[in-house]
Amino acid sequence: MGLIINLRLLSQETLLLQGELSPAELDFGLRDDMFNISLPVKYDLEAEMVDDAMLVRGRLSAELECECVRCLKSFTRPLELPELTLHLPLTGEEAVTIDNDNVDLTPYLREDMILEFPQHPLCKPDCAGLKKIDKNQAPKTGDEPESAASAWAELNKLKL
C-alpha cells in the first residue's frame, strides 16, 4: 500500500499524516548485508498543495541495523529525518506519477531515507576493528632496545 495522498482531499485542506510504514511497504531493496530495516518506520508529516506542487514536510524515524565496517559487528542506530521536505510537482516534465488522483509518497520517503544511511557505519566512533585490536593488545615494546643491548652484552661476555 505505502503512503498514498489523495489530491482531491489535498486540494481542500492540509493533510496531517501520522503512522507507520512497514519495511515491506517501503521496499528498500537492500541487497547487501551492511544495512537492514526490520522495524516499522514512523512518520509524522504534513502535506499541502502549493501552486502546482505538493509540499510534504515533517519527520521520519526508524531503527537502522548496520554492520560495522571495521569489526563487522551488527548494531542498531536510530535513523532520524527530523526535517524532511519533499517538493513534488504535479504538472510538467518533473511531475510525479498520479494514479486516479492519488500520489504514492513511499518511493520519495525511501529515497530520502537511503540518503541518510551512514557512509561508513561504525559500531562506536573509536571502534578498533578486527586486526587493530591485536596490535593494541600486544605488549609494549618500549624496553626492547634495552633488553637487546643487554643480550649483546651477555654475548660479549661469552666471547671474552
What does the binding site for Zn ion look like in residue numbers (CB under 5 A)? 68, 70-71, 73, 123, 127
Q: Give the nearer residue to Zn ion in terms of CB position, either 70 or 110.
A: 70
Task: Of 73, 84, 77, give the one whose Cα is nearest residue 118.
Answer: 77
The CB density around residue 156, as the number of other CB atoms within 10 Å, is 9
Alpha-carbon distances, residue 153 vs 93, 133, 142, 143, 145 (angstroms):
85, 35, 19, 16, 12
- Least Å distance between CB 133 and Zn ion? 10
Q: Which of 68/86 has CB closer to Zn ion?
A: 68
> Which of 49, 56, 38 lies closest to 107, judged by CA?
56
State the minimum distance, in angstroms, from the CB of residue 63 to Zn ion: 18
Under 8 Å between Cβ of 47 and 75: no
Nearer to Zn ion, 5 or 68 (CB): 68
Q: Least CB distance from residue 130 to Zn ion, whole Å? A: 8
Closest contact distance (angstroms) between CB of 121 and Zn ion is 9
Q: For residues 68 and 113, which CB has a smaller minimum distance to Zn ion in the complex?
A: 68
